[in-house]
Structure 1
Amino acid sequence: MKRLFLFPCAVSALLLTACAADAPRLAAEKRAGATLESALADAERTALAGQADKAYGILKEAGQAYPAEKAPWLQMAQMKFDRGSYGEAIQHAQEALQRDPSDKQGNTIVAMAGLRLSTRALADLNQQNLLTGSVQSEAQELARQLRGTLGEDAAAAQRKPMPRKPAAPASSVPLKQNGARPAQSNNADPFGALK
């Protein structure tokens, strides 16, 4: 009889121990979520106050404290993009994409920052007269692919240029009897040149 009584007590004690062990873990996870959100909010307030470097530090610490979270990395990427540090923006966005490959903001930052860097580099090459040969043809091919990706080839085909009436060459203007060309007149009298 004692054995039957001890068995339920032992099972109850094990269940209580398991619950007691899970309670601190669940509480810690709940605090961590609140702490991450408070860190993100604190970084945003700090950035709005004009202390971008301090805000970046808060986000960096949050990224290290919560390595599975993408939010700190996305905010750091956006900050770097807004400040024109496109290389660093790409690095941070890629960190976020490692945690969530389908994140729209991360993919957008990588694409736009990459285009900005490419545009800047091509402008520098062109200014130095180094955008020639295979570099130029490859850049043109990439631009064509980009236009195709953006759907601009189809839009350009739909937009037909308005036909323009060709300007009459100077030699087709009749000469006066003395061999001089008549003076062009901007006034409203179309016969002014004939007078």
Structure 2
Amino acid sequence: MNDRLLVKLSGVVLACGVIAGCATQGNNTVTTPEAFNKQLADADTVAKGGDQDRAIALYQQLSKTDPTREEPWSRIAQIQFTQGHYGQAIVAAQEALQRDQTDRQAKSVLAVAGLRVATQSLGELRQDASLAGDAKSDAQALAKQLRDTLGEA
């Protein structure tokens, strides 16, 4: 496996661990739905104002305030996707979908971010002329499946 791919995958795994850790450390603070919605709207305002890092922090706090709600995770997924942090976007989208399997935005982020990670990895595998064996054949099979799914030649 080439070093750049290993570094990228290591970064994604680390980020996934950090986000998953944040999701599993409960803060059993109970709030009313009205208070939660107000805090969510405040975080949305921060996000629209352009301070994405602060917005993510506010959404993460909201996810601890009411761990059953998918909205903070869905919004984190969208921000991470927009910033090109596909690994983190995938993890956040999965968190949202664990709470609401009908969240179309989270499904979309999960699908497209997954395709972008796969495309990047396939590109790097293609450039590695020394790659042979099962990894290469698996990558070729996956690429064919992606092309078939997308209706591309």
* TM-score > 0.5 by shorter chain: yes
CA RMSD of aligned residues (A): 2.1
* Alpha-carbon spacing, 1:130–1:107, altered in 2? closer, same or farther (3 Å): farther
Work out the CA distance in 1 between the residues paired with 2:49 and 2:140: 44
User: Post-superposition shift, 1:142?
Assistant: 1.5
Q: Provide the residue aligned with 1:77 in structure 2.
A: 77
Q: Provide the residue aligned with 1:104 in structure 2.
A: 104
Q: Secondary structure at the match of 1:68?
A: coil
Work out the CA distance in 1 between the residues paired with 2:49 and 2:60: 18
Work out the CA distance in 2 between the residues paired with 1:106 and 1:143: 23
* Mapped pair 1:63 → 2:26: no
Whether the aligned pair in 2 keeps the contact of 1:125 and 1:131 (CA below 8 Å) is: yes
User: Post-superposition shift, 1:38?
Assistant: 1.6
Work out the CA distance in 2 between the residues paired with 1:135 and 1:39: 46
Whether the aligned pair in 1 keeps the contact of 2:122 and 2:143 (CA below 8 Å) is: no
Q: Provide the residue aligned with 1:140 in structure 2.
A: 140
User: Post-superposition shift, 1:130?
Assistant: 4.3
Work out the CA distance in 2 between the residues paired with 1:82 and 1:111: 14
User: Post-superposition shift, 1:131?
Assistant: 4.5
Work out the CA distance in 1 between the residues paired with 2:98 and 2:40: 19
TM-score in terms of structure 1 length: 0.57
Aligned length: 124
* Alpha-carbon spacing, 1:141–1:72, altered in 2? closer, same or farther (3 Å): same
Q: Provide the residue aligned with 2:89 in structure 1.
A: 89
| 1:14-69 CA-partner distances (Å, limit 9, x unpaired) | xxxxxxxxxxxxxxx9x722222222221121122221111111101111101110
Amino acid paired to 1:111: A
Whether the aligned pair in 2 keeps the contact of 1:122 and 1:131 (CA below 8 Å) is: no
Percent identity reads 41
* Alpha-carbon spacing, 1:65–1:117, altered in 2? closer, same or farther (3 Å): same
Q: Provide the residue aligned with 2:42 in structure 1.
A: 42
Q: Could you list the runs of 5+ residues in structure 2 that have no partner in the other structure? A: 1-29
Whether the aligned pair in 2 keeps the contact of 1:74 and 1:106 (CA below 8 Å) is: yes
User: Post-superposition shift, 1:143?
Assistant: 2.1
Structure (1 or 2) with the larger CA radius of gyration:
1
Work out the CA distance in 1 between the residues paired with 2:145 and 2:116: 16
Work out the CA distance in 2 between the residues paired with 1:87 and 1:81: 9
Amino acid paired to 1:122: L
User: Post-superposition shift, 1:135?
Assistant: 2.7
Whether the aligned pair in 2 keeps the contact of 1:74 and 1:93 (CA below 8 Å) is: yes
Work out the CA distance in 2 between the residues paired with 1:130 and 1:77: 35
Q: Could you list the runs of 5+ residues in structure 1 that have no partner in the other structure? A: 1-28, 157-195
Whether the aligned pair in 2 keeps the contact of 1:46 and 1:54 (CA below 8 Å) is: yes
